[in-house]
């Protein structure tokens, strides 16, 4: 089989061994848990996954923005091994350990703003967001939480309420937690061209004032670049204006940096690009090189209001996850992975722009750092077109390149390569994507 450099296809995708495992999986795993690509993984690499049939696939998804440092990053594998030999768990609420404290120190240093901060560790992104909401309500004694159109904050009961999209995240899972209010976001491609970021923020805050009343709002929760909603970069000025309104009204700003954080967008955190300093920041995903860890970091005066024992959980800040996080952060620092993300943007975004012009099926290409996307529309219109996005994703998968879809309308393909991906693999993966889009558009190469 002729394949792009770096890709090795020994069988069709999925191969025979994957299909046998898939049959077992169907008998054992709940049907509600699905996979983008039913290829069972045997081994990872920097930008590659090897499956159980010996096929090598280029990974432009990083397990949904998790393995930016590599899969595994050697330092993360070493740290996990070393910690597992010492102890695997004590529960930080029973007997503490240094790794937890060091991760909190790193988070306090790295997140936006040089004010005094505190952190608390959890197991996942959704758990971090839940706890940020708990802390915000406690600190302000106000009930309401405001979220944006296209938002994604998780799948637990409270975070489903915060998440915008019904299918597949919320459908038939209600009733949802109360006191959650949704207002318009900034979506430059779909907003009127004349709408500035400041005006988009004004549109949101006017609705908050009318529908909820600023005095009732504990926090506005915002993704600095909306992730599952479609990799939507808000118009310049939107986030600063929203932040200023929060300050004026005693409302806390919670930045959900779970997908955008840890160098993904070319800076430690995406809020850095807008010089916005949130009151609370939630992190997870890229923080620990693939180990499950989530965190809330925020102003010390807010974080420390909660009564002793009010925050925690059996596994939150597990010692192996903390060791992995420290190794992952050190890898980001020593390899300057923020700069690597910026280089990826400079390689990929112009190519996506040219592809949009040539193919006629991409209404918008956008993103920051190594968080980039192409939005499919019916040619000549801005009408979302989900079918081609999923057909292109499927064609990429068949050709050995893992890409993911997203978007409120399901019409966006997102590229989330590991930050350590070698140039040749990135180039090969992109070529497959470009070819698939051109084939779909009937344009040939």
Binding site for ligand PLP (CB under 6 A): 64, 124-126, 129, 152-154, 223, 227-228, 256, 258-259, 284
Least separation in angstroms between residue 123's CB and ligand PLP is 8
The nearest distance, CB 66 to ligand PLP, in angstroms, is: 9
Q: How far apart are CA 313 and CA 194, in angstroms?
A: 47
Rounded least distance, CB 153 to ligand PLP, Å: 5
Give min distance, CB of 257 to ligand PLP, in A: 8
Token digits for 182? 């949704």
Supply the minimum distance, in Å, between the C-beta of residue 125 and ligand PLP.
2
| Terminal alpha carbon distance of the chain | 19
Contact 58, 47 (CB under 8 A): yes
Find the residue with minimal CB distance to ligand PLP: 125
Shortest distance (Å) from residue 375 CB to ligand PLP: 18
| Cα distance between residue 324 and residue 70, in whole Å | 12
- Show the CA angle centred on residue 215, arms to residues 211 and 217, nearest 5°: 70
Please identify, using beta-carbon distances, which residue of 133 and 437 lies nearer to ligand PLP.
133
Nearer to ligand PLP (CB atom), residue 92 or residue 152? 152
* Minimum CB distance to ligand PLP smaller for 129 or for 212: 129
Smallest gap from Cβ 292 to ligand PLP, in A, equals: 8
Give 32: exposed, middle or buried? Use CB within 10 Å, 0-12, 13-18, 19+. exposed
d(CA 279, CA 222): 12
**Residue placing its CB nearer to ligand PLP in the complex, 152 or 269:** 152
Taking the C-alpha atoms of residue 68 and residue 18, their distance in angstroms, rounded to an integer, is 25
The answer to whether 356 and 437 are in contact (CB under 8 A) is no
Whole-Å CA distances, 309 to 96, 101, 141, 194, 303: 14, 17, 18, 50, 13
Q: How far apart are CA 263 and CA 270, in angstroms?
A: 8
Q: How far is the CB of 151 from ligand PLP (least distance, A)?
A: 8
Q: Where are the beta strands (DSSP E) in 157-304?
A: 180-183, 217-222, 252-256, 280-283, 294-299
Distance of CA 135 to the CA centre of its chain: 22
Q: Which residues lie closer than 8 Å to 59 by C-beta, 6 or more apart?
A: 44, 47, 48, 49, 67, 71, 402, 417, 418, 421
Nearer to ligand PLP among residue 46 and residue 228 (C-beta): 228
For residue 321, CA distances in Å to 92, 106, 332 come to 12, 14, 16
Q: Is there a contact between 296 and 313 (Cβ–Cβ < 8 Å)?
A: no
When the beta carbons of 56 and 366 are compared against ligand PLP, the nearer one is: 366
**Which CB atom, from 45 or from 63, has the smaller least distance to ligand PLP?**
63
Q: Shortest approach of ligand PLP to residue 378 CB, angstroms?
A: 28
């Amino acid at each position: 089989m002729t394949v792009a450099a770096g890709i090795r296809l020994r069988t069709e995708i999925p191969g025979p061994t994957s299909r046998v495992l898939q049959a077992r999986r169907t008998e054992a795993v709940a049907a509600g848990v699905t996979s983008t690509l039913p290829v069972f993984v045997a081994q990872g690499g920097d930008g590659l996954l090897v499956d159980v049939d010996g096929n090598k696939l280029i990974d432009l998804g990083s397990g949904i923005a998790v393995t930016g440092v590599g899969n595994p990053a050697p330092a993360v594998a070493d740290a996990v091994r070393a910690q597992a030999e010492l102890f695997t768990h004590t529960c930080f609420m029973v007997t503490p350990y240094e790794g937890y404290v060091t991760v909190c120190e790193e988070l306090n240093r790295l997140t936006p703003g040089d004010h005094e901060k505190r952190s608390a560790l959890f197991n996942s992104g959704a758990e971090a967001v839940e706890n940020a909401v708990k802390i915000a309500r406690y600190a302000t004694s106000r009930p309401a939480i405001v979220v944006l159109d296209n938002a994604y904050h998780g799948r637990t009961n409270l975070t489903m309420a915060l998440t915008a999209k019904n299918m597949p995240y919320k459908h038939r899972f209600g009733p949802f937690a109360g006191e959650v209010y949704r207002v318009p976001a900034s979506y430059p491609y779909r907003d009127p061209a004349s709408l500035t970021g400041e005006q988009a923020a004004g549109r949101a805050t006017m609705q908050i004032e009318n529908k909820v009343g600023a005095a009732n709002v504990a926090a506005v929760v915002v993704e600095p670049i909306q992730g599952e909603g479609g990799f939507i970069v808000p118009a310049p000025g939107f986030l600063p204006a929203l932040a200023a309104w929060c300050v004026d009204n005693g409302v806390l700003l919670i930045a959900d940096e779970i997908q955008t954080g840890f160098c993904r967008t070319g800076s430690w955190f995406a809020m850095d690009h807008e010089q916005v300093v949130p009151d609370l920041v939630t992190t997870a995903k890229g923080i620990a090189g693939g180990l499950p860890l989530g965190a809330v970091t925020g102003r010390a005066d807010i974080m420390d209001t909660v009564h002793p024992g009010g925050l925690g959980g059996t596994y939150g800040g597990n010692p192996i996850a903390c060791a992995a996080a420290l190794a992952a952060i050190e890898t980001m620092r020593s390899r300057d992975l923020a700069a690597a993300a910026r280089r990826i943007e400079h390689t990929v975004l112009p190519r996506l722009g040219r592809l949009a012009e040539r193919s006629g099926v991409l209404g918008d290409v956008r993103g920051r750092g190594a968080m980039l996307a192409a939005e499919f529309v019916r040619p000549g219109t801005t009408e979302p077109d989900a079918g081609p996005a999923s057909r292109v994703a499927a064609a990429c998968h068949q050709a050995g390149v893992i890409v993911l879809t997203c978007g409120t309308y399901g019409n966006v393909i997102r590229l989330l390569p590991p930050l350590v991906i070698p140039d040749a693999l990135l180039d090969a993966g992109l070529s497959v994507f470009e070819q698939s889009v051109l084939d779909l558009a009937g344009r040939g190469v």
